[in-house]
Amino acid sequence: MACLHLMRRTMMSILGVATLLVDRRVRFSPDIIGHYNKELVIVERDARSSLFVGLDPNRLSLARMGKRGEGIIGGEENLDRLKTAGHIRADAAMALSFWKNPEKIPSAWNKEEGGVYFDGDIFFRPSNGYRFVLCLRPIKKPDGSKCHWTLEFHWLGGDWFYRPPSVVIDVLAEEAAIILVPV
């Protein structure tokens, strides 16, 4: 672990302040968002996203899986389309890193009133069988200026009345991410 910590500090000094480090030392705990989320468990994961320990936030992409003219898309359908497209879906650890470091959130995300989605980890609530993904959403003041960001769960079972943007990692841009390679 000390070697990983040193590696993270070295990467930050090389890449500058634009790099968001993703803490992979502890598992994401749903109750950090609220005690009523304690029973949520991760049941599905895009394992590729867990290889990333650092990101240049401005090099991430927002993928919209809703088709033009399609007013409603189901959450599960949105997830299926992301998988079919082959996107590396940003996970809960990345969402938490942005939440804890709001100054690293790309300014373009401020325009997404419904928030941006982190579909790399799928959460399940055993008591009702519902599945969820994380959403990082800007909360605005009455005058329209951004106040703060909130991290919340969004139910996949409902209809989504807009084309929600999902945070995905552009693997073609090598400088976009730092990948932890096991040795």
By percentage, how much of the chain surpasses pLDDT 70? 80
Distances (CA, A) of 40 to 132, 143, 180: 9, 35, 27
Q: Look at residue 4 and tell me whether its pLDDT is greater than 60.
A: no
- The per-residue pLDDT for 68 is 80
Please state the rounded mean pLDDT for residues 2-17: 43
- For every residue of the chain, DSSP letters joined together read -HHHHHHHHHHHHHH-TTPEE---SS---GGGT-GGGTT-EEEEE-GGGGGEEEE-GGG-EEEE-SPTT---EEHHHHHHHHHHHT-EE--HHHHHHHHH-GGGS-GGGGG-TT-EEEEEEEEEETTTTEEEEEEEEEEE-TTS-EEEEEEEEEETTSEESS--EEEEE-TT-GGGEEE----
Q: What pTM was estimated for this model as a whole?
A: 0.81
Nearest to 169 by CA among 44, 22, 15: 22
91-150 pLDDT, tens per residue?
Answer: 999 999 999 999 999 988 988 888 999 999 999 999 999 999 999 998 887 776 767 899
CA distance 81 to 163: 12
- The per-residue pLDDT for 171 is 65
Q: Look at residue 164 and tell me whether its pLDDT is greater than 80.
A: no
